[in-house]
Structure 1
Amino acid sequence: MTTDANTLWYDEWASPVGVLRLVADDECLREIWFPHGRHRQLQPPHWRHAAEPLARARQQLEEYFAGTREQFDLPLRPIGTPFQREVWWELARIPYGATISYGELARRIGQPAAVRAVGAANGRNPLPIVLPCHRVIGSDGSLTGFGGGLPTKRFLLSLESRVALGDLFGVEQRAR
């Protein structure tokens, strides 16, 4: 496919949490949109529909939802401020099946007083699931805002905890 430097590819995939729109440039995954996302945008005219450029991302998401993938191995290019990108890259370090608070996330990036700014950056994460913002919860353990909605956040955390608990009992327990 011949494209110019501004072309972005998109495809839609029917996931267990609804139809996700995946967006990539010629080299990297750029965005994942939830069906009713809080920050959903209009589709720019330079976007082109094509499944092939997003096949690897779709496959890894399928494996994640099947419980067979705990880490993503995709080239990523989220667009944001330097602060937002710092927060988003730290999200990738939260272990599968674990949760941390917004305060802990702020401490991990060396800015413990920036809890609200961290929360705002987390809420603007353009690559949810892959950069797992759903693993960030309130300091009291409550589920707080999530771009895909709290039911989706609850589903993702439940999926990860079921798979992680299954590992305690071995692969045979998970297969039942």
Structure 2
Amino acid sequence: MSSNEVDGPHPNADSAQATMATPVGPITVTGNGRSIVRVTWVESAEVDFSAAPPASAVSDPLLTEAMRQLHAYFNGSLTTFDLPLGLGQISAVARTVLTTLDETVESGTTVTYGELARRSGTGIPARAIGSIMGMNPLPLVIACHRVVASDGLGGYSGGRRGEGLATKRWLLEFEDALPRPLF
């Protein structure tokens, strides 16, 4: 991976979290002190932003850096994350596919499910790539939104509940991988 991959313990062991508002909904980032192990969307009702510490007040330096990089991504000044990542207990095939995605698909570009399957060298079908994208524990950081169907956007499980495809479209337009609508 472009970042230093660390396979730490289960995401809940010795974990710390920080939550931030983004243009695609609030996200929580979880770290285990050695790596970032999870990025999840949370419903606004679950988050009291007035009680959430600013990124600079987070006691875990790695989480502080992750929040700084995510903020830079959403303000358009960062296109590649440089964080130690922990993918946890996923299969070797899923790890290979996610690593291939992270290393070969840059911001502003997309890849089809079939092409990612080919690039990964795993021999799995395109349909299986979609399942792996759905289990990605680090969306945004490992940009599974950049994986599209050969005939359209495909699916996306990130974003606010029920807004997955709108979130995927927004992220791809934001990265200039899709043209923005005229109106």
Structure 2 unaligned runs (5+)?
1-8, 44-56, 159-163
Q: In 2, distance between residues paired with 1:155 and 1:10? A: 25
Question: Secondary structure of 1:15's match?
Answer: coil
The 3 A distance-change label for structure 1 pair 90 and 159 is: same
Alignment of 1:52-67 (within 5 A): 52-53=59-60, 54-67=63-76
Question: Secondary structure of 1:90's match?
Answer: helix
Q: In 2, distance between residues paired with 1:52 and 1:153? A: 31
Instruction: Choose the corresponding residue for 2:81, options 50, 66, 72.
Output: 72
Mapped contact 2:96–2:122 kept (Cα < 8 A): no
1:146 to partner: Cα distance: 0.9
Alignment of 1:5-44 (within 5 A): 6-35=13-42
Alignment of 1:125-164 (within 5 A): 125-140=136-151, 142-148=152-158, 149-161=164-176
Q: Aligned pair count?
A: 146
Identity %: 38
TM-score, with normalisation over the residues of structure 1?
A: 0.77
Question: What is the CA deviation profile of residues 100-145 of structure 1, one whole-angstrom value per residue up to 9, with x for unaligned ones?
Answer: 10000000011455212211111110101110000000011x1111
Question: What is the CA deviation profile of residues 56-76 of structure 1, one whole-angstrom value per residue up to 9, with x for unaligned ones?
Answer: 001001111111101000000
Q: CA RMSD in A?
A: 2.0
Structure with the greater alpha carbon radius of gyration: 1
Structure 1 unaligned runs (5+)?
37-49, 166-176
Mapped contact 1:103–1:112 kept (Cα < 8 A): no
The 3 A distance-change label for structure 1 pair 84 and 67 is: same
Mapped contact 2:35–2:86 kept (Cα < 8 A): yes
Question: Secondary structure of 2:132's match?
Answer: helix
List 4+ stretches of structure 1 deviating above 4 A.
Answer: none
Alignment of 1:92-103 (within 5 A): 92=102, 93-103=104-114
1:51 to partner: Cα distance: 2.4
Question: Secondary structure of 1:67's match?
Answer: coil
Larger strand proportion of the pair: 1
